[in-house]
Structure 1
């Protein structure tokens, strides 16, 4: 039985009703809408619930369905222009009525980052997961058009194809559940138009204007959004920290969702302010300059072998440096070390 329930409400954006929901208490964290969502069905998903609980323990989690999807108005095609998407996010934030932090996954990261760039005084912190700067780089043109054509002609086949991409290691039961979820969340026309927008989003010229402290998370083997695109997005945001996570699933609440949520919640809960400050117990002198250099490469997703080649060290030496870093930061994994150091301003 859930201890936290969500409250669903509605607002209007350009004459269309948009469903939004809140759960938990504390500072607001608004989740940027992505291509296919359903507030009610998501909330019934046990894996999603556990992921959300890690946020609602400390924050008021605010989510919404884009027009055309979920509980929002289904009339007509969805909005596909990035500025219109940002307007929907802005309308939801206005309902919250305060400064917020943003969590943007996948294409929702583009929307969240674009809002943060346009409204720096409204955003405390920004966390992006599995996102990108230029949608045209997600796949080559032929592959993109092939997927869209299949979806338009056979939504049943298309939803299974997307399931293969988003959940490559899911059980047959979970795969069927996600297929049903997609079909319930959007009609074929809505799904095609929404995914086409994902490929068209381009925030390369907006990311340099982001002023909020930003953490970018990306799984190394993500099949939906290539790892390199997440690293590219982080490189375009001034002062952003990048944390590489293990895993293949694109949905944040699947795979090692605990590591992802801990990194995000820990960063969002840091009260450092606009300029990231160091926390007690994680000061810069705790790590040598070489260890910080190694940690920065770990954060970019480099393996020990790749780091050894880059720094002209033996692989054994790099392995020892990583072990020392984990010991000094009192963490048990590479991911936790990078997330901890990012919050402390060490990288």
Structure 2
């Protein structure tokens, strides 16, 4: 256990990813579980002392049991890592989720964590109660303008030249883009956090590998309640990314935060809005629904995607045909069916027949 200057206690643990990399994660707060997908500028200990992050951690901890982790190569996680590809990062998230021990949880993707969370949501829909994106994207280059592409190239050069320098003038470029309305004290903390989070080589390699990941094609496969939170004037990840997420995820709701900061700060009006939206969104997770019974309305138990799949199954379609009609992978169809069977209390070889019968009995 570790106690910090804010008198907040967090439990720091380590999970082992599929390739053996140790991923540091921490648990604090009380309430329904909320797993926060890694933000590249993080340090599980240093963040608690930060005038940029402290209010966010304390606010989330008042409404949820927060599980957050340092990305591979960053913070307290294993350093000197060269693989920052999508599969490795999804495996990190899987390792943390499994090690934390919560059967189901809400997932929040921050910044570059979007593609990882999207892939996890598609692969493991049965684990998620709901999904949130905060200042995030499906792909860094998705719908990027020429000006943005040129900016990405300039950023890499800045990292190579100035990341390790004692002075913060090069790192200040990133700080001023993330929190343009921040105070000098807040800017200095972000300047320092960049060096504390990772070394120059990791910053360059991880960023280059993140830039080529695009999970946009997976968005239509997501079938959990989804909330997209994004600052309208975000200079790091433009607001167009939020529109892209919300318009391609079925039923997603978009909340535009009136801020120019990538990280919404404590003293701006957008912060209580963000906290209220998250609080209201996860409120349903505080209530554990009773097991389904034969008399329950199946349409109130299953998600829209599960119902779509079950209706096609009722028409005689096999899993391969269902996947083709709904433009899903066969694996995703199988996972949705298994999730539906679990909700209906069905198992074994007769589960599909029994689920279809439940659906048809309502017709």
TM-score band w.r.t. shorter chain: 0.7 to 0.9
Deviations 1:142-201 (A, max 9, x none): 221121012112214442211121011112222112101111111011111222233222
TM-aligned CA distance change 1:174 to 1:42, over 3 Å: same
Q: Does 1:260 align with 2:274?
A: yes
TM-aligned CA distance change 1:146 to 1:2, over 3 Å: closer
Q: Could you say which residue in structure 1 is the equivalent of 2:292?
A: none
TM-aligned CA distance change 1:144 to 1:47, over 3 Å: closer
Q: Distance in 2 between matches of 1:125 and 1:15?
A: 29
Q: Could you say which residue in structure 1 is the equivalent of 2:120?
A: 115
Q: Identify which of 84, 87, 93 aligns with 2:88.
A: 84
Runs of 4+ that moved beyond 3 A: 1-4, 137-140, 252-255, 271-276
TM-aligned CA distance change 1:244 to 1:19, over 3 Å: same
Contact 1:22-1:61 at 8 Å conserved across structures: yes
Deviations 1:274-324 (A, max 9, x none): 759xxxxxxxxxxxxxxxxxxxxxxxxxxxxxxxxxxxxxxxxxxxxxxxx
Contact 1:36-1:191 at 8 Å conserved across structures: no
TM-aligned CA distance change 1:126 to 1:274, over 3 Å: farther
Q: Could you say which residue in structure 1 is the equivalent of 2:284?
A: 270
Greater C-alpha Rg: 2
Q: Could you say which residue in structure 2 is the equivalent of 1:333?
A: none
Q: Does 1:146 align with 2:154?
A: yes
Q: Identify which of 64, 71, 86 aligns with 1:66.
A: 71
For structure 1, the residue ranges without an aligned partner over 5 or more in a row are 277-347
Q: Distance in 2 between matches of 1:261 and 1:196?
A: 32
Q: Could you say which residue in structure 1 is the equivalent of 2:109?
A: 104
Q: Could you say which residue in structure 2 is the equivalent of 1:232?
A: 244
Length-normalised TM-score, structure 1: 0.74
Measure how far apart 1:76 and its partner are: 3.3
Q: Does 1:251 align with 2:255?
A: no
Q: Identify which of 152, 160, 166 aligns with 2:178.
A: 166
Q: Distance in 2 between matches of 1:186 and 1:67?
A: 10
Length-normalised TM-score, structure 2: 0.71
**CA-based RMSD:** 2.0
Contact 1:51-1:258 at 8 Å conserved across structures: no
Count of matched residue positions in the alignment of Structure 1 and Structure 2: 275
Measure how far apart 1:219 and its partner are: 0.9
Q: Distance in 2 between matches of 1:197 and 1:92?
A: 21
Measure how far apart 1:253 and its partner are: 4.7
Contact 1:213-1:275 at 8 Å conserved across structures: no
For structure 2, the residue ranges without an aligned partner over 5 or more in a row are 288-300, 305-363
